[in-house]
Structures are given as structure tokens and as C-alpha cells.
Amino acid sequence: MSQGFEIVRHPTARRVRLSLDPATGRARLVVPRRAALKAAVAWAEGKADWLEQQRARLPTPRPFVPGAVLPVADEALTIIHDPASRSRVVRREIDALVTGGPADTVARRIETWLRRSALTLLDEETHAVARRAGVTVDRVSIGDPTGRWGSCASSGAIRYSWRLLLAPGFVRQATVVHEVAHRVYMHHGPEFHALTEELLGTDPAPARAWLRAHGAPLHWYGRSSL
């Protein structure tokens, strides 16, 4: 990291390029393998005003604090901290996530609850789709990648972003179908797309469009700043 941006030497890049990742807020300077690094850095430093303009357009951080409302599997749940309770367990109460214990660990415990809920739901939905597709899934796991919402290995292991729990149900389900379909076709050819539409029962294009338009803000849940 230099001067507020990460420098990446890219073997196939044809020109110097500066970008800001809307999912993380990190700036990256891509430099072709043979380009002069000093000149590239000087050029990027001259883009300080542009970077500030781009940062001003980043999604709003949405920390896990009492009173925050989270979109969990198509339901709005409010975080409630009960200071009178010593229980650190996060429990679902109708339209709220309630927990006691120390206030400074509420955010961590809320995220842990969300991750566990995401894994439970995604595991259930993945195996249900796999049964319809006539395939097996080795295991389902979750992570917090910024570059993709799901992945399927040739071994049959499927991994998702836990933040799909915060997306609308039709988006989450389309992502599940997409990954399960890769258990049949490990490519994105016509057969793959036909199978995804068949398994989903509708065109998955609106779900993809939603993620392109609204996916970045999902990465800002649980964050208080850049």
C-alpha cells in the first residue's frame, strides 16, 4: 500500500489504471509489468481529488449497533441490547435480535448469529436444489469474499458469502441454483443457463441485475467506517 492505494503489477495490463472497490473502499493502482512505477505512482497521486469524489459515493457503513435494522431473509430485524441481561446469547424475538452482556461485544455476536443463520439456510436450500437436480453436494460453507457471491469446486464443495442472508430471497435462491447447476456443468454455456432457469423456475437475470446494482452495500453491513 502506498500513498493511500495498493499497487499491483499486472502481467497482462496494457495501461496504468486506478480504481476504487465499492465493496471495500480500497483504492488500487494497476501497473503494467514493464511500465515505470515512479511515473505511475506520480500519476495516481495526481488523482487525489478524483479518489475523494469516488469515496464520497461509497455505500453508507451500517454498523451492528442497538437500533440498527437488518434485512434478514426478507424480514426486517432490529438489534436490541438489554443491558440488564447478562446473557450474551443472541436470540430472535419476532422482529428483533435481542442480546445482553457487554455492549462492546454486541456487534461481534450479532455477526456470529448472522453467519450461523446464513449457513443453516444456505445449506438447507442448496441440498434441496441438489436433490431436484439429481446431484450431490460434498459440503456447504460460508465466507466473506468481496469478489464473488458463491463458488462451486469440482469436488462438490460449494461456498457462499454469508451476506446473501441480507439480500432479497429471490437473489439468494438464484445464487444457490447457479452454484448447484455447476455440479452438472462446470461452465457458463447454453446448457448451464438453461438448467439454471429450469431449476429456478424463472429467469435468473433480475437476481444478477440486483446484485450488480445493490450488492456492494451488503459489504458495508457491520462496518462503522472505511
pLDDT value of residue 91 = 96
Task: Give a yes or no: residue 223 inside a domain.
Answer: no
Q: pTM for this structure?
A: 0.89
pLDDT value of residue 225 = 72
- State whether 19 and 113 are in the same domain: no
Range of 38's domain?
A: 6-56
| C-alpha closest to that of 77 among 89, 94, 90 | 94
Task: Give a yes or no: residue 20 inside a domain.
Answer: yes
- State whether 111 and 197 are in the same domain: yes
Task: Give a yes or no: residue 226 inside a domain.
Answer: no
pLDDT value of residue 89 = 96
pLDDT value of residue 7 = 93
Cell 453467519 found at: 115
Cβ-in-10-Å burial (0-12, 13-18, 19+) of 99 comes to buried
CA separation, residue 152 to residues 161, 176, 205, 215, 219 (Å): 12, 10, 19, 20, 21
Task: Give a yes or no: residue 123 inside a domain.
Answer: yes
pLDDT value of residue 1 = 46
* Residue numbers in the chain where pLDDT is lower than 50: 1
- Three-state DSSP at 87 gives coil
**What's the structural domain count of the chain?**
2
Task: Give a yes or no: residue 11 inside a domain.
Answer: yes
- Reading across the β-sheet that carries 27-32, which strands appear in turn? 6-10, 27-32, 17-20
pLDDT value of residue 226 = 61
pLDDT value of residue 224 = 85
pLDDT value of residue 3 = 56
